[in-house]
Structure 1
Amino acid sequence: MAAYQQTYAPVWGSLGWSALCAALPLLTLFVLLGGLRWKAWKASLVALAAALTVAVVGYRMPPPQAALAGSQGAVFALFPIIWIVLNAIWIYRLTELTGWDGVLRRAFGSLSNDQRIQAVIIAFCFGALLEALAGFGTPVAVSAAMLVTVGLRPAKAAAVALVANTAPVAFGAIAVPITTLGQITGLDAATLGAVVGRQTPVLATVVPLVLVFMVDGRRGLRQTWPVALVAGLAFAGAQFVSANFVGYQIADIVAALAGALAVIAMLRVWQPREELSGAPPVPVMAGGAGESRELDAVMDRRSGRGSAALAFAPYLIVVALFAATTLGPVAAWLKAHAGWSIAWPGLHVLNAAGKPVSTALKVDLANAGTILLIVGVLTALIYRVGPARALRAYGATLVRFRWTIVTVMAVLALAYVMNLSGQTVTLGVVLAAAGGMFALLSPVVGWLGVAVTGSDTSSNSLFGLLQLTAARQTGLSGYLLAAANSSGGVLGKMVSPQNLAIAATVVGMDGREGVLFRRVLGWSLVLLCGMCALVYLQSTPVLGWMVGR
């Protein structure tokens, strides 16, 4: 099949008109999802159709090549993204079926019964630890489910989990986004990590304050700001020190632990004047008839009686297995023997300069989803869930998750069509034309990439080289703009359709992703404006000392 060569101004030879056409799929997605309140899977399929139309008609991409690009994105959505999230939800379902979610609720309540503080501990600190070790939607899936168990309403729990999953994203999955950015740009990854570590800590200081405001409004902020601020400052300080002086790969692990310890220490000497507690929630993934929820032991655990160590067992196993498989000799062995790249048959794309664009699909059998599957099996053994019952639970999870699967596949297919046809590069080039003011817009490029793909790694792969090129054309720091792509990108994750679909499914809001989108869009844009201002000031003498080079 003949190769397709990208062109970035195909519509009447005009970059402006081409950018308007390239923006149509994104505008379609966001208008249908947030404005017309369509279900995410329907909006994603229509947006995918728009992307294919623009690719074929506007960018003159051969229809077979466009279809192959979309199919590669859909397969990537299934493995590893759906594979990861499906197993993460299954683990939670096992804890719910056996009543251990009630013990977990009691355990968090022993630190504080205040839902505002629990939001900081679960969504911000524990969620950051999961992001550090797994990423790809796992923190949102797990922390949203846990927030429901401590009494938050489903919509609020999902929104809090989405907003909390910001500051740690740039260093998620053992800092894969930063490592990828270094490979794409040719810049030193450690230096890039250090610069990102001078941007996202500012965000981390603010996010816990946002979370307590989301849970309880102005009263929550007024009554619990000391513990939220302590958590944010401890997290930010540890992330900065680790990224700049220890190792950027473990920045989130160190920061998450520091934030949690700071909250625990603070609660020993200070408590809010009033406590916001909620009634035990209705389980969001309850099983059907025939499951043994009537047993006295299960009911006892649901009321909070049981071993806290056993309640935390699945999550402790998650941390242990991810640490073992992502650090040290085991990680090196798995990297050498459990992964490979597969060239997508028939897909041949050249960039505007005539150089081949990589279309290889990376397969990693030891990815986070496989590890979570092992954790699920071990959880079933620990909680004495029989094979038949465990399989029924998995099947029920798959059925419950079916429209989310469609959504994620459609969105990733859309992203691959836009990327390989050249639509996303067109949008980036238009923004880069801003010259010296591009520093103000640089985080927006990263935000756009993550909003579409749901991945900071994918956004860095897509726009990293563009950021470096723009830096050289404008005389700005390449390290600053490349880092800004990653730092700005983390704020797009909360509005990406696949993460919205994941959060909605976990809390039982299937088909109501638009509700979550409207809840978090404002926070995403406000925090993005703050990041834009920070990066712009870092490009000037005012805060230029923060970049260094």
Structure 2
Amino acid sequence: MNWIQNFTPIAGNLFLSALCALIPSLYFFWALAIKRMKGYAAGLSTLAIALFISVIVYKMPVLPAVMSATQGAIYGILPIGWIIIMSVFLYKLTVKTGDFGIIRNSILLLTEDSRLQALLVAFSFGAFLEGCAGFGAPVAITAALLAGLGFNPLYAAGICLLANTAPVAFGSIGIPVIAVEGATGVPAMDISQMIGRQLPLLSLFIPLYLVVIIAGFKKAAEVLPAILVCGVSFAATQFITSNFLGPELPDILSSLVSLVSLTILLKFWKPKHIFTFRSQAEKEAAPALEAEKKKYTRAQVFKAWSPYLILTIFISIWGIPQVKLALTGVYNGSNLFLNGLNTIGKVLTFALPVPWLHNKVIDSAGKPIPALYKLEVLGAAGTAILAAAIAAKFVLGVSWKNWIATFGDTMKELRLPLLTIIAVVAFAYVTNASGMATTLGMAMAKSGVLFAFFSPVLGWLGVFITGSDTSSNLLFGGLQKVTASSLDMNPVVAIAANSSGGVTGKMISPQSIAVACAAAGMAGKESELFRFTIKHSLLLLLAVCLITYIQSAFFPWIIP
């Protein structure tokens, strides 16, 4: 039996229906920010509320509603949960062997300052990982690194989430932009160019914003040269690459230029005063820092960093389009190696119809919506990290016994964070399948002449619900195009704004919160991190809204 989505279930009134559809999200905000529930409790109860509304208000049959939750739960395990497990596992291997101490000291020799470490690790290195992999891997890896460097766990997780704002729109080799081209018919290059005229303004500001949050305005001024080099090099490269090369390379090239530029600067310039989280005071920290510094041979440093160098290689390989096709079993070329890989990828890729849901939900256009349990075991970014962890076992000299024991410890530590992830992704899928997300989007589209201001809010809402800029673009990209066209607004601006606004919602997405807490050792403290990030998310969203409105209303020549 098929079920037709109804986006105005309450007396045909869009406003009342939108208020009802907003209840699960408002409840989740309340549960974390005010009630301070543990993440898994907030996630599971939010899922229950979403299921209740989908069945009682939206009249979705019980079986399809429940099965949509199982579809989300599976996606929460693979690829998202798999990335978290393997990222934390790789980090724990370096701790187990003592090599993370060498990594830590090598960074201290480059800079002892927590402000500069945040720029190097969270902003530049995190952006590189976002460009290669995405799907939570950048936050998981960089949060673990910062926590190991002595950062307060809350700041380690929060700073990495904030830093991830700059690269998200072009993450995973430009997938968010490429995906929305298919959903809207607008060329990816046009969208890339428009995002490249919005987001660099934010990217230029983020390094300063991070350091101010860490240490305040006065201490941010002490490292202004580093902030400028980091922000300007990243934003300029992001603008050039997105406008002239397309959506695939902005993150990778911008992060590398920023990382190299900042490293070169630190060879010739150091801040006069050292700021570190370990004591929150430079004078108190200095003796401890001096005692901790130790020179290692280049071979020792290279060996210690090798797991992350190997990780970078594997993630980069996994991100190559042709390799990615082979890993998921859909390669159709003449390369013998890729054909062999394609055979294995095909065996390890599953696309199973979701019972009672696949093609049973009919959208507003009268088309059935496919619903699949899609498991790309070999092609998942987490598998690239697993390959790196296996290679690291031999480089670091870890026995199989200790390797397996460390993996077991990781699984035990992450069991509740994984439950949180499963619950919140299931909630996102129920919201989409029932039509609640579309109801909210349609209500936002009624803002009329102010739509240019509010269009980024749709992206922000989409990423909050789905945890992905790609999913948000697919969810609301078509709506942005239709609404903008009806209001004589250039659709490219609205579609780009969906992606640019979406990046500011990443830091409060339940999935991202759970990932960051798991990586920084804050399991069960998701409410603290949510309270930390929500105000920054709203402030940066306001900035994107203003940028979009000003460009659309006063600078139409900037639109490609």
Give the TM-score range, shorter chain: over 0.9
On the 8 A contact 1:99/1:302 being kept in 2, the answer is no
Cross-structure match for 2:547? 534
Offset at residue 303 of structure 1 (A): 6.5
On the 8 A contact 2:108/2:293 being kept in 1, the answer is no
- The 1:485/1:358 distance shift into structure 2, 3 A limit, reads farther
2:376 is equivalent to residue 354 of structure 1: no
1:425 aligned partner, one-letter code: T
1:324 aligned partner, one-letter code: I
- The separation in 1 between residues aligned to 2:10 and 2:84, in whole angstroms, is 39
1:492 aligned partner, one-letter code: G
In the TM superposition, what are the counterparts of 1:54-453 in structure 2 within 5 Å? 54-277=53-276, 279=278, 305=296, 307-327=300-320, 329-335=322-328, 336=330, 337=342, 338=345, 339=349, 341-347=351-357, 348-364=360-376, 365-453=378-466
Cross-structure match for 1:291? none
Cross-structure match for 2:334? none
- The separation in 2 between residues aligned to 1:272 and 1:302, in whole angstroms, is 17
Q: 1:509 aligns with which of 505, 512, 522?
A: 522
- The separation in 1 between residues aligned to 2:316 and 2:30, in whole angstroms, is 41
Post-superposition Cα deviations, 1:142-182, rounded to whole Å, max 9, x if no partner, equal 11111122221111111111111111011111111111111
Offset at residue 317 of structure 1 (A): 1.1
2:516 is equivalent to residue 493 of structure 1: no
Offset at residue 312 of structure 1 (A): 1.5
1:334 aligned partner, one-letter code: L
- The separation in 1 between residues aligned to 2:308 and 2:51, in whole angstroms, is 41
Offset at residue 502 of structure 1 (A): 1.6
Offset at residue 104 of structure 1 (A): 0.8
Post-superposition Cα deviations, 1:220-251, rounded to whole Å, max 9, x if no partner, equal 21211221122111101111111111232011
In the TM superposition, what are the counterparts of 1:31-50 in structure 2 within 5 Å? 31-50=30-49
Post-superposition Cα deviations, 1:362-395, rounded to whole Å, max 9, x if no partner, equal 3322220111111111111111111111111111
Offset at residue 10 of structure 1 (A): 0.5
- The 1:246/1:186 distance shift into structure 2, 3 A limit, reads same
Post-superposition Cα deviations, 1:258-286, rounded to whole Å, max 9, x if no partner, equal 111221232244322211135599xxxxx
- The 1:66/1:118 distance shift into structure 2, 3 A limit, reads same
- The separation in 2 between residues aligned to 1:396 and 1:176, in whole angstroms, is 33
Cross-structure match for 2:284? none
- The separation in 1 between residues aligned to 2:296 and 2:213, in whole angstroms, is 30
- The separation in 1 between residues aligned to 2:352 and 2:242, in whole angstroms, is 33
Post-superposition Cα deviations, 1:316-343, rounded to whole Å, max 9, x if no partner, equal 1122112223226434433523356433
Cross-structure match for 1:478? 491
Gaps of 5+ in 1: 282-299
Q: Give the count of matched residue pairs.
A: 528
2:123 aligned partner, one-letter code: F
On the 8 A contact 2:84/2:519 being kept in 1, the answer is no
Secondary structure of the structure 2 residue equivalent to 1:342: strand
On the 8 A contact 1:408/1:498 being kept in 2, the answer is yes
- TM-score relative to the length of structure 1: 0.93
- The 1:304/1:59 distance shift into structure 2, 3 A limit, reads farther
Offset at residue 304 of structure 1 (A): 6.7
- The 1:301/1:152 distance shift into structure 2, 3 A limit, reads closer
On the 8 A contact 1:450/1:458 being kept in 2, the answer is yes
- The separation in 2 between residues aligned to 1:316 and 1:341, in whole angstroms, is 33
Secondary structure of the structure 1 residue equivalent to 2:505: helix
- The 1:135/1:427 distance shift into structure 2, 3 A limit, reads same
On the 8 A contact 2:504/2:540 being kept in 1, the answer is yes
On the 8 A contact 1:149/1:280 being kept in 2, the answer is no
- The separation in 2 between residues aligned to 1:81 and 1:36, in whole angstroms, is 26
- The 1:543/1:272 distance shift into structure 2, 3 A limit, reads farther
2:222 aligned partner, one-letter code: Q
- The separation in 1 between residues aligned to 2:366 and 2:144, in whole angstroms, is 48
Cross-structure match for 1:292? none
Secondary structure of the structure 2 residue equivalent to 1:434: helix
Secondary structure of the structure 1 residue equivalent to 2:407: helix
- TM-score relative to the length of structure 2: 0.91
On the 8 A contact 1:48/1:410 being kept in 2, the answer is yes
On the 8 A contact 1:538/1:546 being kept in 2, the answer is yes
- The 1:315/1:415 distance shift into structure 2, 3 A limit, reads same
On the 8 A contact 1:151/1:280 being kept in 2, the answer is no
Offset at residue 415 of structure 1 (A): 0.6
- The 1:302/1:459 distance shift into structure 2, 3 A limit, reads farther
Gaps of 5+ in 2: 281-290, 331-341
- The separation in 1 between residues aligned to 2:369 and 2:551, in whole angstroms, is 32
**Which has the larger displacement, 337-346 or 240-249?**
337-346
On the 8 A contact 1:196/1:486 being kept in 2, the answer is yes
- The separation in 1 between residues aligned to 2:110 and 2:294, in whole angstroms, is 17
**Which has the larger displacement, 262-271 or 499-508?**
262-271
**Which has the larger displacement, 166-175 or 146-155?**
146-155
Identity of aligned residues (%): 38
Secondary structure of the structure 1 residue equivalent to 2:352: strand
On the 8 A contact 1:103/1:301 being kept in 2, the answer is no
- The 1:167/1:88 distance shift into structure 2, 3 A limit, reads same
- The 1:139/1:381 distance shift into structure 2, 3 A limit, reads same
Offset at residue 302 of structure 1 (A): 10
On the 8 A contact 1:101/1:302 being kept in 2, the answer is no
- The separation in 2 between residues aligned to 1:341 and 1:475, in whole angstroms, is 41
**Which has the larger displacement, 55-64 or 152-161?**
152-161
On the 8 A contact 1:85/1:502 being kept in 2, the answer is yes
- The 1:382/1:423 distance shift into structure 2, 3 A limit, reads same
- The 1:251/1:340 distance shift into structure 2, 3 A limit, reads farther
On the 8 A contact 1:103/1:302 being kept in 2, the answer is no
